[in-house]
Amino acid sequence: MASPQKPTPSRRKFDQAFKAEALRMLEEGQSVVQVSTNLNVSDKLLHTWKHTHKKQTLKQVGTQQQAAEIERLKAQLKRAEMEPHRRTGDILKKSTAIFTQLT
């Protein structure tokens, strides 16, 4: 005898605005249980969103720090590339002064 099939619940999809609102509620100090009850979502799902948001935030901060470090290194490289020209100019000035004194 075959058992009747239960209809499988369809997966709900949540847009970014909904997720952002849930995360805002958590950041304001509401517990995961409160937010999950208020929004009718599972607490496991809220933890997943929170973890994903944290990873994205850390990645963005890392990217910003890398960009700042790249700019700092570019400026340092530019100074290092100009250093031989400065030394050459100093040598020319000194040699001119010496030759001027000799004549």
Per-residue pLDDT tens digits for 33-53: 999 999 999 999 999 999 999
Min mean pLDDT across 8-17, 40-49, 61-70 is at 8-17
Residue 84: exposure state from Cβ atoms within 10 A (0-12, 13-18, ≥19): exposed
In the predicted model, is pLDDT for residue 1 greater than 60? no
pLDDT band at 103 (very low <50, low <70, confident <90, very high): low
Regarding pTM above 0.85, the answer is no
Domain ranges of the chain: 16-98
pLDDT band at 15 (very low <50, low <70, confident <90, very high): very high
